[in-house]
Structure 1
Amino acid sequence: MLKQREETREVDRADIGALLQRLAADGRNWAEAEVTLARTELGELKAQAIRAVAFAMLGFAAGFCFLVVLSQAGIAFLAPLVGNTGVAALIVSAVLLALVGACFMVLRSAIAWRTESIFFRWFARRSSDAGP
Structure 2
Amino acid sequence: MPNEEKNESELDDLAKNFFKQIGIEDFSGTIEFAKDLEKDIKKRESTIPKRPKIEGSEELKRIIEEKDVYIEKLEKLLEEKQDRVKELENKILSSFILMIKDYIEQINKLKDELKNKDEIIDDLKIKITAFKSKIQGLKSKWF
1:22 to 73, 89, 93: 73
| Mapping of residues 52-71 of structure 1, within 5 Å | 52-71=103-122
Identical-pair percentage: 7
Aligned CA RMSD, in angstroms, stands at 1.9
Do structure 1's residue 31 and structure 2's residue 69 form an aligned pair?
no
1:11 to 33, 43, 62: 62
What's the offset of the Cα at 1:75? 2.3
TM superposition score normalised by structure 2: 0.52
Do structure 1's residue 44 and structure 2's residue 98 form an aligned pair?
no
The equivalent residue for 1:77 is 128
Q: What letter matches 1:35 in structure 2?
A: K
Q: Deviations over 1:29-79 (max 9, x none)?
A: 011101111111111111111111111101100111101111121122024
The equivalent residue for 1:102 is none
- Alpha-carbon distance between aligned partners in 2 of 1:34 and 1:81, rounded to the nearest angstrom: 69
What's the offset of the Cα at 1:80? 4.6
Q: What letter matches 1:54 in structure 2?
A: E
What's the offset of the Cα at 1:3? 5.5
Is there any run of 5+ residues in structure 2 with no aligned partner, and where?
A: 1-52, 135-143
Structure 1 stretches of 4+ moved >3 Å: 79-83
Q: What number of residue pairs does the alignment pair up?
A: 82
